[in-house]
Chains A and B, each alone.
Chain A
């Protein structure tokens, strides 16, 4: 059984034919070759696979591609404007909010969702907002600083 799906990914309308059991992350990575979205734990713990689906952050390893039919998806590849990074990406760069970088795409997507809901997040808001994202390198302190700066950057439209 194969199902035709269409979605808008990073502003571009895409379509494909998938098995019902195909995960959204598999569709993004293997069908669309958008490999910036990572699979870490594959058990919905780590958040490396977080993308925005109709504006809300979701774990794409715990979403079926068919559930995304008709949806608007934003992945890490859809954030930068040409060579100008999104303020949240710039803030992660400026504040060294990563070491190996594997969790970073999910961290950035979750942080953007958080700031959309809480424009001036406190440290506690950020910690709670990143509850679904694990980083095994940084100890989180620089991620916290990056998200704080990224939130300011998103308000002013400037890099962090």
Chain B
């Protein structure tokens, strides 16, 4: 690791004031950032540790949404009675991330801000139609992920919470890489008052909705309807783990499994 300076603010305002350059990075759980630093893939001047900002922690119900503070760990989301009762698919998703130690440290804000193409939470942000709350504004989940590791966040903007509208029902299915646990493809299907939503992670440069699947499911909310949709492979990821065509096929298969799980 290259040397860097370290700040540990105790309030959000203090943290934002420290974000004076592009070379100052936010540290949440550090489960991606620290390995990145260790491999010398990043060389920040300073880290701003969000670990002591209490306002960023916790899970609460606000109206028809579950609001999860950015510093809430995956383990906390997975174990939360509130989340398990309102959006069990989200609790299940959190419990499928990484391994127990990663879940004890990694946070929802960190995962969403990092926008790893194979991370699980982005499928929930897009599939459930979440809203990203920042220190400056709210950003619709649908327009938050822009590209590989690229989000709508500005340089001096930090996520404070993620608000998930409570769906009528939802399910998350993923085809996990057996070594890393990352999603080769992961699909969140939600039944909402506004119709079915389908959020996909792992398949493309960033998470996206699948309108073709949503339309098919609006016609008939059945596993067969999902399986009958042929997703195009154009623009999808291809690597040693799976070809673009294989990922395209997985999207429909996992969507149909999610629909079956919803029942």
Residues of A within 8 A of B (CB): 1, 3, 19-21, 23, 42-44, 47, 50, 56-59, 62-64, 66-67, 69, 110, 113-114, 117, 128-129, 131-132
B31 in contact with A44 (CB, 8 Å): yes
Contacts of B8 in A (CB 8 A): 66, 69
Task: Tell me if B57 is interfacial: C-beta within 8 Å of chain A.
Answer: no
Beyond A64-B30, A132-B102, 7 extra complex contacts between A and B, CB < 8 Å? A21-B3, A44-B101, A58-B105, A59-B105, A63-B34, A117-B79, A132-B101
Contacts of B4 in A (CB 8 A): 20-21
Taking A44-B31, A57-B100 as contacts, is the C-beta distance between A67 and B51 under 8 angstroms?
yes
Residues of B within 8 A of A (CB): 1-6, 8, 27, 30-31, 34-35, 37-39, 47, 49, 51, 75, 79, 98-102, 104-105, 181
A44 in contact with B102 (CB, 8 Å): yes
Contacts of A128 in B (CB 8 A): 100
Task: Choose among A23, A59, A67 the residue that contacts B101 (Cβ–Cβ < 8 A).
Answer: A59
Taking A113-B100, A131-B181, A132-B98 as contacts, is the C-beta distance between A21 and B2 under 8 angstroms?
yes
10 contacts between A and B (CB under 8 A): A1-B3, A20-B4, A57-B100, A62-B35, A62-B105, A63-B30, A67-B49, A67-B51, A110-B100, A129-B100
Contacts of B102 in A (CB 8 A): 44, 59, 132
Contacts of B98 in A (CB 8 A): 132
Q: Which residue of chain A has its CB nearest to the CB of B105?
A: A58
Task: Choose among A43, A114, A129, A132 the residue that contacts B35 (Cβ–Cβ < 8 A).
Answer: A43
B101 in contact with A50 (CB, 8 Å): yes
CB distance from B149 to the nearest CB of A (A): 19
Whole-angstrom CA separation of A47 from B47 in the bound complex: 25
B34 in contact with A3 (CB, 8 Å): no
CB distance from A127 to the nearest CB of B (A): 11
Whole-angstrom CA separation of A113 from B47 in the bound complex: 29
Q: Which residue of chain A has its CB nearest to the CB of B4?
A: A20
Q: Which residue of chain B has its CB nearest to the CB of A47?
A: B101
Whole-angstrom CA separation of A132 from B99 in the bound complex: 5
Whole-angstrom CA separation of A6 from B129 in the bound complex: 43
Taking A20-B47, A66-B49, A131-B181 as contacts, is the C-beta distance between A57 and B101 under 8 angstroms?
yes
Q: Which residue of chain B has its CB nearest to the CB of A54?
A: B104
A20 in contact with B34 (CB, 8 Å): no
Taking A1-B3, A20-B6, A21-B1 as contacts, is the C-beta distance between A132 and B100 under 8 angstroms?
yes
Task: Choose among B38, B51, B100 the residue that contacts A131 (Cβ–Cβ < 8 A).
Answer: B100
Contacts of A129 in B (CB 8 A): 100
CB distance from A41 to the nearest CB of B (A): 10
Whole-angstrom CA separation of A69 from B10 in the bound complex: 14
Taking A43-B38, A56-B75 as contacts, is the C-beta distance between A63 and B105 under 8 angstroms?
yes
Contacts of A62 in B (CB 8 A): 30-31, 34-35, 101, 105
A66 in contact with B104 (CB, 8 Å): no
Counting chain A CB atoms within 10 Å of each CB, the highest count among B2, B31, B51, B100 belongs to B100
